[in-house]
Amino acid sequence: MTRRRTTLVVTLTLAVLLVLGTVGVASAAWRTQASVSGTPMAGTVGLTVAGFDGLGGTLSSGTPLSGAVTVSNTGGLELTSLTATVAVAGTGTGSVSVAVWPVTSSTTDCGSVPSAVTSGTWASAVPSWLSGATLAAGGTATYCFRATTTSTSAAMVTPTVTVTGHAATWATAPVASTFTETVPAPTSPTTVTPAQAGIAPGNASTTVPSVTFPVDADGTLSNPYYFCVDVTVAPAAGSAVWSLRIDTTKPPYNSLPPASGWRWETDVTVSGPTQGILTVAGGRSNATITAPLVVRFCVTQKAAAPIMDAGPGTYSVSTPQLASCSDRTRAASRYDACVWTDVTGLYPHFYIGFHYQFVLADVVNASSLGSELKGQLLKDTLSGVEGGGGGIAATGGGTPYTVTVTSDGVGPSEGAITGGMTRTLKARLTSNG
């Protein structure tokens, strides 16, 4: 029995080993392998925005603010959409209009507005500014912004524009830009800078903190042909022997000789004029000052109303309009094209000078003329300004071609305006096309 069992166990073991050995060798011999490797990477998303700081500043009727804003994709993925939001703080935020349009270069002069732009207030235009835009990885896009106002009321607009880029469900970190645009309050002609009144310190030890025109009890200057000037002089340091220079050739004196119509209500010593300059010093009682001193003099203009250059805010300028030179209700033609503008005075007490400018391409593109005629008129240059009387100068030049109109403010019949008065000016164009 023992021998038989031993024989059986050995036999079975050999058989099993044989079977397993047979199967095992067969499996190992008939499989082969190769390998593939790679380094898949998730892309990055990033965005920069530059240029909004150039849109901060002061704008007024006829003086827009413009600049280029560049959006750059700094990530490795295409930004398949871009969104812009805006929060606008300040006062009078609706009085500033903005136009936005794409350009091909960040060095583009944004002074000329094409016919198709996104426009509105900062609050309404910005959200649609980047609608439908995409930006390839590493790519940039540049947009021109131009802010304008026709308001003559003070306003301060502080937009915070936030731009975000999207690649599928991923978004870049939002990029916020904040800047402030200011529309100055109307400048009262009764408060001017010394330079506007032709006044400057006569020596280094004198300063001129302020120049005002004293008003009547009702707050107005009731008689535009007779006015007084209060000049505050102060020592630059400690005590000073003060001195003033008054340029009598400037508005509102209009080269009126001191001997004819000037009256000094402060103890002063006057010499000149030499080449139009009066030199004024203190009298015996106040030649040396240690504190501010108000020097008052009054001028009678007799037949001529006084004129001064009070600057923007004392008048308004309408949007320039392209039309026929003979009738502004008729469309312009190739050889009959004028740019019409109305300048209206806002203050009743002085005749004031003014200035404004416009980009010819803006005016042409804003018209309803056909594209062929527009193309011809865009080659035009300024011939001259008509309708404002004398004393109005106009120049044209630059790229884009810009027309600047100024009133030298010499005499009411020579281009200046006063409260309620409107001068309609037409800048005639010469065809070069």
Partner 1 sequence: MWGDRRGERRGSRRRGSLVGGALGVAAIIIVTVVLGLAGTGGVYALWDASATAPGATITTGSIGLTVAGRESAVLTGLDGPLAPGAQVSASVTLHNTGSVPLSVGVASTTGSAPLADALTLRAAAVPVGTSCPTSAGTTGALVGYVARQLVTLPADGSEDLCLVLALDGSAPVTLAGTSADLGLTITGDQA
Nearer to partner 1, 59 or 175 (CB): 175
Candidate segments 139-147, 161-169, 218-226, 279-287, binder of partner 1 by CB under 8 A: 161-169
User: Which residue of 6, 15, 265, 267 would you call a contact of partner 1, by CB under 8 A?
Assistant: 15
Q: Considering beta carbons, is residue 23 or 236 the nearer one to partner 1?
A: 23
For partner 1, the closer CB: 17 or 195: 17
Q: Does 40 bind partner 1 (CB under 8 A)?
A: yes
Which token pair is 343? 């300048």
Q: State the amino acid at position 273 in one-letter form.
A: P
Rounded distance between C-alpha atoms, residue 253 and residue 2, angstroms: 146
Minimum CB separation of residue 70 from partner 1 in Å reads 23
- Measure the CA–CA gap between 154 and 313, rounded to whole angstroms: 9
- Binding residues for partner 1 restricted to 136-155, rule: CB under 8 A: 137
Cα dihedral: 380, 386, 390, 396 (round 10): -20
170 binds partner 1 (CB under 8 A): yes
Torsional class of 246: left (φ above 0), alpha (ψ -120 to 50), beta (otherwise): beta
Nearer to partner 1 by Cβ, of 12 and 195: the residue is: 12
Rounded CA Rg of the chain:
38
* CB closer to partner 1 out of 36 and 204: 36
Q: Kindly tell me which of 173 and 195 has the beta carbon lying closer to partner 1.
A: 173
Name which of 83 and 321 has its Cβ closer to partner 1. 83
Give bridge partners of residue 159 from the DSSP assignment.
88
The piece of 19-27, 92-100, 232-240, 396-404 that touches partner 1 (CB under 8 A) is 19-27
Is residue 33 close enough to count as binding partner 1 by CB under 8 A? yes
- Would strands 307-308 and 351-352 be described as parallel, antiparallel, or unpaired? parallel
Taking the complex as a whole, the smallest distance from the CB of residue 27 to partner 1 amounts, in Å, to 9
Tell me: does residue 4 bind partner 1 (CB under 8 A): yes
Q: Does 32 bind partner 1 (CB under 8 A)?
A: yes
Give the one residue of 26, 116, 259, 303 binding partner 1; rule: CB under 8 A: 26
- Is residue 156 within a helix (H) or strand (E), and if so which, with residue range? strand 155-167
Is 39 a residue that touches partner 1 (CB under 8 A)? yes
- Is residue 2 a contact point for partner 1 (CB under 8 A)? no
Burial of 426 (0-12, 13-18, 19+ CB in 10 A): buried
Decide: is 6 part of the binding site for partner 1 (CB under 8 A).
no
233 binds partner 1 (CB under 8 A): no
Contact 145, 99 (CB under 8 A): yes
To partner 1, the closest distance from the beta carbon of 165 in angstroms equals 12
Residue 28 interacts with partner 1 (CB under 8 A): yes or no: no
For 247, 263, 289, the CA distances from 234, given in Å and listed in that order, are: 19, 22, 7
Residue burial 103-137, b: 16+ Cβ < 10 Å; e: rest: beebeebbbbbeeebbbbbbbebbeebbeebbbeb
User: Binding partner 1 by CB under 8 A: which of 7, 128, 395, 430?
Assistant: 7
Which of 127, 147, 118, 133 shows the shortest CA–CA distance to 86? 127
Q: CB 13 → partner 1: shortest distance, Å? A: 10
Does residue 77 belong to the site contacting partner 1 (CB under 8 A)? Answer: yes
> Is residue 167 part of the contact set for partner 1 (CB under 8 A)?
yes
* In the complex, least distance from residue 406 CB atom to partner 1, rounded to whole angstroms: 56
Distance CA 289, CA 102 (A): 60
**Single residue of 89, 136, 168, 236 touching partner 1 by CB under 8 A:** 168
Integer Cα distance of 218 and 86 in angstroms: 44
Indicate which single residue of 2, 6, 16, 327 sits in contact with partner 1 (rule: CB under 8 A): 16
Q: How far apart are the first and last CA of the chain?
A: 128
Helix (H, G, I), strand (E, B) or coil at 16: helix
Q: Cite the beta strand spans of 47-135 per DSSP E.
A: 47-50, 57-58, 65-73, 81-91, 96-103, 118-121
Does 41 participate in binding partner 1 (rule CB under 8 A)? yes
Burial of 217 (0-12, 13-18, 19+ CB in 10 A): exposed
Q: What angle do CA 18, 19, 20 make, to 5 degrees?
A: 95
The answer to whether residue 35 forms part of the interface with partner 1 (CB under 8 A) is: yes
Shortest Cβ 177–partner 1 spacing (Å): 22
Min separation Cβ 171 and partner 1, Å: 7
Give the binding site for partner 1 (CB under 8 A).
Answer: 4, 7-8, 11-12, 14-16, 18-20, 22-23, 26, 29-45, 75-78, 137, 167-171
